[in-house]
Structures are given as C-alpha cells and as structure tokens.
Amino acid sequence: MWVSRCLVLVCALWSAQATAGELADFNAAVEATAAHNRVALGYLRTGNTDLAGLELDRLRHSWRAFTERYAGKPPDAFSGNALYGPLFTTGNARLVAADLMLNTGRLDSAAQSLDGLRGDLYALRKASGIAVLADCIRDANKAIEPLMAYDDRTLDWSKSPTRFGIASRAAIYQHELERCDEMAGEPVRTSPEFRRLIDGAKAGLALIPKAVATRDGDLLHRILIELRSFDNLLAFRFG
C-alpha cells in the first residue's frame, strides 16, 4: 500500500510538472507571435507603412507556426475553454483584415485588427484563469484611462469629488503597475528598460498627492502626460 501511494504521488507530481511545462511552452509560443504584433502596431501608429508591412509578414509567419503546433492540441490548462477553437480562425481573419487595411492605407483599421488579436488572447487566458505579464500591462492600460480624464485645465479643485477622484484613480493605476512588477519574470523585472518604465511611472504617481494638495493643474498635466508616455511604451514593449 505504501508503494502504491508513492506511485500515485509521483504520477501526480509528474503530471503537474508536465502540465506546467506544456503551458509554459504555449505561453512562449504566444509571446513569440505577440512580439511581432507589438512592433507592427508601433509602426502603424507612427505611420511607417513599409516597416509595418514587413513586421506583419513576420507576424503571419509566426502565427502560422503557432497554429500548426497548437490548433489541434490545446494544453490541458485550456481544457473546456470554448474560446480556444475559435481563436485560430478568428486570428487568421484578423491578420487578413490587417493586411487588407494596411494595403489600402487604413492604418487605424489595421491597428484595430492587430489589437483585436491581442484581445482574443487576453480573453482566452482570462477564461482559464491564466495571466501573463502582457495581460497585466493590458489591465494597466485600461486603468490609466479614468485617471487621464483629469487632464483638464478647467478642473474645479474646490470640489472634494475631484480631488478624491484623482487620488483614487492614481491609486488604482499604481496597484496595477505594482502587480505587473511582481508578475514579471526575473529577466524582465531586472532589465533596464522595464525598470525605467515602471519606476518612472511610479515616480510620476508619487507626485500626484502634491499636485492635489496644492491644486496645481499645470503640475498634474505634466505628470499625466509623462504617465501616458510610460504607459504607451509599456504596452509597446511588454503588452
């Protein structure tokens, strides 16, 4: 009986390790594709159509390899996830649409198609309770939007909801950044680029209480502009 129990424990441990390794390989394959997606989006947003087209070609090649490997073989972590099967056909359609939009000069629409692919992967992982750094960065991108609404020189500082709103939304955004910092793997967390962006955003957030206390709209404007820049760069590089 003791031997049987040991065999059960060993098999369970082996199965857990195999599942974790399988998911890690899947996430790495997704990241290889996502890296091209991020760069293509960056070129589209700056209007560099030639480089956007080149990166879109690389993205299609990477997506094809990813599809061939995983379309018919979902990792156990996605068992029962209704979003898994449609991911590949939807992804193909989004890439075709992005290429068409790029070739007809509709860069915003091309970017929407590529961002839609990022959203599909985000939704897939979320439905299975899986989170990676890119998902956290996407959450942070959403969390900054309510804060950016206060980039308004006509703010009525005499109203407590205004002051409280700025402080609370800054706290929410900071929480997301802290979560991303903790989630990042060691190579990313300690990289100079990641540290510059995360620490720079945190430094800006640390100045918001001063802007609120002194009711300094100009200072708040400068802080928010800088935060937006850090946020965009985080999305471009790690989202």
The token pair at 111 is 């970017």
pLDDT at residue number 11? 38
pLDDT at residue number 90? 96
Phi, psi angle pair for 40, to nearest 5°: -60, -45
CATH architecture type of domain 133-238: Up-down Bundle (1.20)
pLDDT at residue number 185? 87
CA distance 198 to 2: 51
pLDDT at residue number 6? 43
pLDDT at residue number 17? 44
pLDDT at residue number 21? 66
If you average pLDDT over residues 46-72, what whole number do you get? 94
If you average pLDDT over residues 87-116, what whole number do you get? 96
pLDDT at residue number 20? 54
The token pair at 72 is 């018919």
Direct distance between the N- and C-terminal alpha carbons of the chain, in angstroms, rounded to an integer: 50
pLDDT at residue number 117? 95
If you average pLDDT over residues 215-231, what whole number do you get? 95
CA distance 57 to 15: 37
Residue 2 has pLDDT above 70, yes or no: no
pLDDT at residue number 149? 95
CATH classification of 19-127 is 1.10.10, yes or no? no
Signed CA dihedral, 75, 238, 86, 93: sign only: negative
Q: What is residue 235's three-state secondary structure?
A: helix
pLDDT band at 153; cut points 50, 70, 90: confident
CA distance 121 to 157: 41
* 12-21, 89-98, 113-122, 150-159: the lowest-pLDDT one: 12-21
Residue 219 has pLDDT above 80, yes or no: yes
pLDDT over 70 for what percent of the chain? 91
**Strand positions, DSSP E, 67-218:** none
Instruction: Using only the alpha carbons of the chain, give its radius of gyration.
Output: 22
**3-state per-residue secondary structure call for the chain:** CHHHHHHHHHHHHHHHHHHHHHHHHHHHHHHHHHHHHHHHHHHHHHCCHHHHHHHHHHHHHHHHHHHHHHCCCCCHHHCCCCCHHHHHHHHHHHHHHHHHHHHCCCHHHHHHHHHHHHHHHHHHHHHCCCCCHHHHHHHHHHHHHHHHCCCCCCCCCCCHHHHHHHHHHHHHHHHHHHHHHHHCCHHHHCCHHHHHHHHHHHHHHHCHHHHHHHCCHHHHHHHHHHHHHHHHHHHHHHC
If you average pLDDT over residues 164-175, what whole number do you get? 96
8/1: higher pLDDT: 1
pLDDT at residue number 5? 53
Residue 7 has pLDDT above 60, yes or no: no
pTM for this structure?
0.80
Residue 170 has pLDDT above 60, yes or no: yes
CA distance 100 to 107: 10
The token pair at 160 is 């407590």
If you average pLDDT over residues 47-61, what whole number do you get? 95
Task: Cite the residue boundaries of each domain of the chain with CATH code 1.20.120.
Answer: 19-127, 133-238
